[in-house]
Chains A and B, each alone.
Chain A
């Protein structure tokens, strides 16, 4: 089996932009290939994560993005699992490189969520929920996550203020991230006084509707050695994915089991434990997810995931010293659905190669990514990345 490496990353501006999806992809591609030969001389295939064709009335995104990258007569596929699409693209690229099917593959993701306004985004995202009983009850993404949050607050000592603190922490992190959609801090009172979206979730508990794209080049040992300085490559040490039930009603509302399976698989594949992870990007589509995922990834004891906001020395016994969502997370970096899993990889790449600037976590050499789709963990991909040179 070949080793898979991330040798270059790129992202588009994140937020409401005047660029359609394909042009956002062009931006991400241009950054990723700034110091590389033409994509056609580097990669032998492409996967693109895209949540919905409803935004731009365009399927065949694999073919389109391949064309825009100058790739022809190579496999180029769209993959879809709602917000987990980006990490699925990464997973497929890693699998192909590890298996020796291709020497290098482009994993990318793109979403033009603002194309149909808030209503368009609500309706497009609604297609991710179970149709027969849940969609037909009028639910939305915030409402389904509010069902998780309400139960979490019921079963644990956590409060709405604890959830708001997660948003405050992620905004503070994003203030130091030049890629982030919201590069400003917010205070706890602003978050607590914000309007209800789906109680107990308020505006600042919810990731924004975002346009954006990201691209990551996955390569085997030979291509990585030829194109990159060793300190600039990151190794994909482990990867795992798992589906849970589609209907939120048929899942454990306070234990994201699919995410736990995906993370455990990725740890085992990488030969690491949760305690080895220095930085993690986890899928905080809604604040409660960050707490649930800290528990599912075995960073935190059950019911204490909200301490993700605390410095390691101030956390309860049983917590690791991982730093979570240094990018600002989905909440503040932005959440262009199909690109999110790859934006997580971009942050980990920067942390593991010492390029994270003000956000840099000292000695970061192992990262975990958790990217979920559907309501929470209807589908989850977890990825362990390690620094090639032993740490930033």
Chain B
């Protein structure tokens, strides 16, 4: 994990908050589409936050910076969504997990494995898919989400 180049350290000013910046969702997903998973890192307490945001939930500080994340981590917990929301029905049953990346950042994601093949502590790697590949019902996406990539974990 490394702090990204040309990094802004908060408090963010109004001009720092643009759709090009990973501190916003469009900027975060643009970076993800290019293969970079970017978190906000608190420079006071080192909490890593996905997606990035302007303040730290750990200590309240706005002194946050951007930090590119490792793609590997381990399963903290997992289950199977047997009856998913209608837009995801074609993927059922969906194995999902909370994953702690090697940076300590945590995120939820689908796991491309059946439930019985997953256990707490398993090593996984993040994969980034085009939205078309996942084939989620287009009605699910909001207008600004249509081009956003989807994330999924593969067992290592």
Contact = CB atoms under 8 A, between A and B. Distances in A.
A245 B79 CA distance: 21
B120 A134 contact: no
Given A136-B150, A199-B80, A248 B85 contact: no
Nearest to A245: B57
Interface residues of B, number: 38
Nearest to A120: B86
B94 interface: yes
B85 A138 contact: yes
Contact of B81 (A140, A154, A247): A140
B123 to A, nearest CB: 17
Contact of B108 (A119, A123, A137, A140): A137
| Centre residue among B50, B98, B136, B145 by max chain A CB count within 10 A | B98
A248 B80 contact: no
Contacts of B76: 151, 253
B51 interface: yes
Interface in A170-203: 196-201
B88 A138 contact: yes
Contacts of A137: 94, 96, 108-110, 151
Contacts of B28: 132
Interface residues of A, number: 34
A133 B78 contact: no
A196 B109 CA distance: 20
A242 interface: no
Contacts of A197: 82-83
Interface in B15-73: 25, 28-29, 49-51, 57
Contact of B77 (A119, A142, A148, A247): A148
A140 B85 contact: yes
A132 B96 contact: no
A133 B79 contact: no
A122 interface: yes
A146 interface: yes
Given A126-B85, A133-B50, A138 B98 contact: no
A196 B148 CA distance: 32
B91 interface: yes
Interface in A106-159: 118-119, 122-123, 126, 132-140, 142-143, 146-148, 150-151, 154
A60 interface: no
Contacts of A133: 50-51, 107-109, 151
A118 B25 CA distance: 31
A250 interface: yes
Nearest to B94: A138
A132 B25 contact: yes
A236 B120 CA distance: 43
Given A137-B96, A147-B77, A249 B88 contact: no
B150 A139 contact: no
B133 to A, nearest CB: 14
B84 interface: yes
A55 to B, nearest CB: 15
A51 to B, nearest CB: 16
Nearest to A196: B82
B53 to A, nearest CB: 10
Given A126-B85, A134-B108, A137-B109, A151 B96 contact: no
Given A119-B86, A133-B50, A150-B78, A143 B96 contact: yes
B77 A151 contact: yes
A123 B86 contact: yes
B115 interface: yes
Given A133-B51, A138-B91, A139-B108, A122 B85 contact: yes
A249 B33 CA distance: 22
B69 to A, nearest CB: 12
Contacts of B57: 245, 250
B110 A154 contact: no
Contacts of B86: 119, 122-123
Nearest to A244: B57
A32 B147 CA distance: 52
Contacts of A132: 25, 28-29, 51
A154 B76 CA distance: 10
B84 A140 contact: yes
B98 A140 contact: no
Contact of A247 (B88, B108, B120): B108
Given A133-B50, A248-B98, A253-B77, A154 B83 contact: no
8 contacts: A123-B86, A137-B108, A138-B88, A139-B81, A147-B79, A147-B108, A196-B82, A249-B107
Lowest 10 CB-CB distances: which A-B pairs, in order?
A138-B88, A146-B79, A151-B77, A249-B106, A249-B108, A147-B77, A143-B81, A138-B84, A150-B77, A249-B98
Given A134-B108, A147-B97, 17 more contacts: A122-B83, A122-B85, A122-B86, A132-B28, A136-B136, A138-B88, A139-B84, A140-B84, A147-B79, A151-B120, A154-B120, A198-B81, A201-B79, A249-B108, A250-B49, A250-B106, A253-B76
